[in-house]
Amino acid sequence: MVDISEKTATKRTAVASCIVEMAAETLDLIKNDQIQKGNVVEVARIAAIMASKRTPDLIPMCHPIRIDSVDVRFTYVSDTQIRISGTVKALETTGTEMEAITAVSVGAMVVYDMCKSVDRGIRILAIQLEEKSGGKSGHFLRQSETE
């Protein structure tokens, strides 16, 4: 495990995202709250938040941190895709990137789990860090593919 004992706590923020792609009929069922297991977006949001807080239990050598805020959002980006974005904030000596990536990954897995009975072809795509700030390495902002 990396020694962070000499580092100064700073405000850390990380934003991660992913895309969940499915049949248009499946996305319609989600939008109309007609998936048998329940409200997909709300269950996935809660799971994502809970997962972010358990990141050190899942990722070897990941430091436990005191998370101050987790915000998970779901956006319908097309008739077959949902974008999940997660923002994690903490006043810490190490970053929040892994917590944000864990949040969106687990959120996407919950969407799959809740919808697999109607669509086994669901795909989880482009899990990635979008932005991070704070700490020694400074600010990172992913450039869009069109830039």
- DSSP line for the chain: ----TTSPPEEEEEEEEEEEE--HHHHHHHHTT--TT--HHHHHHHHHHHHHHTHHHHSTTPPP----EEEEEEEE-SSSEEEEEEEEEEEESS--HHHHHHHHHHHHHHHHHHHTTT-TT-EEEEEEEEEEE-STT--EEPPPTT-
**Average of per-residue pLDDT values in the chain:** 95
Expressed as residue numbers, the domain containing 105 is 10-135
Q: Check which CATH number belongs to the domain holding 118 and give it.
A: 3.30.70.640
Q: Is 57 a catalytic residue?
A: no
**What pTM value is reported for the model?**
0.94
**3, 33, 71, 113: which one is catalytic?**
113
What confidence tier does 90 reach under pLDDT thresholds 50, 70, 90?
very high
**What is the per-residue pLDDT for 138?**
87
Domain count for the chain, please give it: 1
Flag whether 108 is in a domain.
yes
Flag whether 4 is in a domain.
no
Which of 74-78, 91-95, 106-110 has the lowest average pLDDT? 91-95
Q: How far apart are CA 70 and CA 12, in angstroms?
A: 12
Does the structure show a pLDDT above 70 at 146? no
What confidence tier does 145 reach under pLDDT thresholds 50, 70, 90?
low
Q: Are 20 and 125 in contact (CB under 8 A)?
A: yes
Flag whether 143 is in a domain.
no
Flag whether 59 is in a domain.
yes
Flag whether 21 is in a domain.
yes
**What is the per-residue pLDDT for 137?**
86
Cα–Cα distances (Å) from 81 to 39, 64, 75, in that order, read 17, 32, 9
**What is the per-residue pLDDT for 144?**
79
Flag whether 52 is in a domain.
yes
Flag whether 92 is in a domain.
yes
Flag whether 84 is in a domain.
yes
- Token code pair at residue 127: 């899990």
